[in-house]
């Protein structure tokens, strides 16, 4: 996982990565802007902490009841790596759909051979991901009580990872590329798009996105809201006796082989006494 350090201002001034400011504290103390949810400063701060923060930055005490939810980005990447080893799938290029500020993409780049592309609908999240990549780390503020605190982190040397690129794009209308990718990871977006079935269909209808024999990771807490998706389109809505998990499997089983299935917990910190906990249902499939 990324190396995260709390440093003095003097140390930060001599280290280009640690001194690169991604999010200022005063942005977190203003009233919420009318920007889309995932462009808002507090949302960016929470995701930066989940993707790049250390355990101590996230919980501040070792016996926290949510401690097991730390390291979500790392665990998703490792789940895909284990599936690649199990199936013998060589992952030269990977696509991270719903990359947000890029933590999962950076974890993938530690072992994917050639390149990782992260795509997200939020222009500001993509901008932050690019700045993290260019600087090799950075600093950002998090809310702590009645004020803010600065978290600084440094990433591994770029020579030790695959090429990384981040793009603004709609997860429901991916452009793909000639030849597609060896692996595609779709993290926590299927319950946030207008047409989840059409979004999912992209991965078996077009080899511009996922190659035959490639791996598809679907991670989702199945937390549906009508402001994002019409209830009629929720997975499982047509079968009251079926869960979203069952509906996903029914949608993929004719074109994919299920390789692995797990539950992966994650946590977004609002402040040291308020957390948003989730459990993503994670399935990994091989495209037949």
- Cα–Cα dist 191/220, whole Å: 7
What are the structure tokens assigned to 145, written together?
């009580």
- List, for residues 167-181, the tens digit of each pLDDT value: 999 999 999 999 999
Mean local confidence (pLDDT), 9-15? 41
**What confidence category does residue 18 fall into, taking pLDDT thresholds of 50, 70 and 90?**
low
CA nearest to 72, candidates 215, 269, 273: 269
| Domains held by the chain: number | 1
- List, for residues 23-81, the tens digit of each pLDDT value: 888 888 787 777 788 889 999 999 999 999 999 999 989 999 999 999 999 999 999 99
Q: How far is CA 42 from CA 17, 48, 80, 135, 192, in A?
A: 22, 10, 29, 22, 19
Q: Which residues contact 242 (CB under 8 A, 6 or more apart)?
A: 236, 250
The chain-wide mean pLDDT, for the chain, equals: 91
- List, for residues 173-207, the tens digit of each pLDDT value: 999 999 999 999 999 999 999 999 999 999 998 88
3-state SS assignment for residue 139: strand
What are the structure tokens assigned to 210, written together?
């996922």
CA nearest to 153, candidates 171, 172, 132, 139: 139
- Cα–Cα dist 286/288, whole Å: 6
Q: What is the pLDDT of residue 24?
A: 85
DSSP H helices in the chain: 9-14, 25-28, 41-52, 55-59, 72-87, 103-109, 123-135, 196-205, 244-252
Q: Output the pTM of the full model.
A: 0.91
Q: What is the pLDDT of residue 1?
A: 55
What are the structure tokens assigned to 117, written together?
């592309």
- Cα–Cα dist 15/212, whole Å: 44
CATH code, domain carrying 150: 3.40.50.150
Decide the pairing of beta strands 115-120 and 137-144: unpaired
Percent of the chain's residues with pLDDT above 90: 77
Residue 285 has pLDDT above 90, yes or no: yes
Q: What is the pLDDT of residue 66?
A: 97
3-state SS assignment for residue 63: coil
User: In this predicted model, which residue has the larger pLDDT, 200 or 16?
Assistant: 200
What are the structure tokens assigned to 177, written together?
């590329």
Q: What is the pLDDT of residue 91?
A: 98
Q: Could you tell me the residue range of the domain that residue 60 belongs to?
A: 3-287
- Cα–Cα dist 97/187, whole Å: 7
Are 278 and 221 in contact, with CB atoms under 8 Å apart? yes
């Amino acid at each position: 996982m990324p190396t995260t350090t709390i440093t003095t201002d003097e140390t930060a001034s001599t280290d280009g990565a640690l001194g690169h400011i991604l999010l200022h504290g005063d942005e977190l103390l203003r009233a919420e802007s009318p920007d889309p949810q995932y462009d808002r400063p507090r949302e960016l701060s929470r995701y930066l902490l989940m993707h790049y923060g250390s355990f101590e930055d996230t919980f501040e005490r070792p016996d926290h009841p949510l401690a097991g939810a730390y390291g979500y980005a790392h665990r998703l990447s490792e789940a895909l790596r284990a599936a690649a080893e199990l199936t013998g799938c060589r992952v030269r290029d990977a696509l991270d759909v719903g990359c947000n500020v890029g933590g999962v993409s950076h974890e993938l780049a530690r072992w994917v051979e050639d390149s990782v592309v992260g795509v997200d609908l939020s222009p500001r999240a993509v901008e932050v991901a690019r700045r993290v990549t260019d600087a090799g780390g950075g600093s950002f503020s998090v809310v702590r009580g009645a004020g803010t605190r600065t978290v600084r982190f440094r990433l591994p040397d770029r020579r030790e990872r695959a090429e990384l690129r981040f793009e603004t794009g709609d997860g429901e209308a991916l452009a793909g590329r000639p030849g597609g990718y060896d692996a595609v990871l779709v993290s926590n977006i299927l319950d946030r798009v207008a047409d989840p079935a059409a979004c999912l269909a992209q991965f078996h209808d077009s080899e511009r996105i996922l190659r035959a024999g490639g791996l598809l990771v679907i991670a989702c807490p199945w937390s549906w809201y009508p402001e994002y998706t019409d209830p009629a389109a929720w997975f499982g809505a047509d079968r009251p006796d079926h869960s979203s998990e069952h509906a996903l499997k029914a949608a993929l089983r004719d074109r994919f082989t299920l390789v692995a299935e797990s539950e992966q917990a994650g946590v977004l910190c609002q402040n040291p006494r308020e957390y948003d906990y989730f459990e993503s249902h994670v399935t990994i499939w091989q495209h037949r």
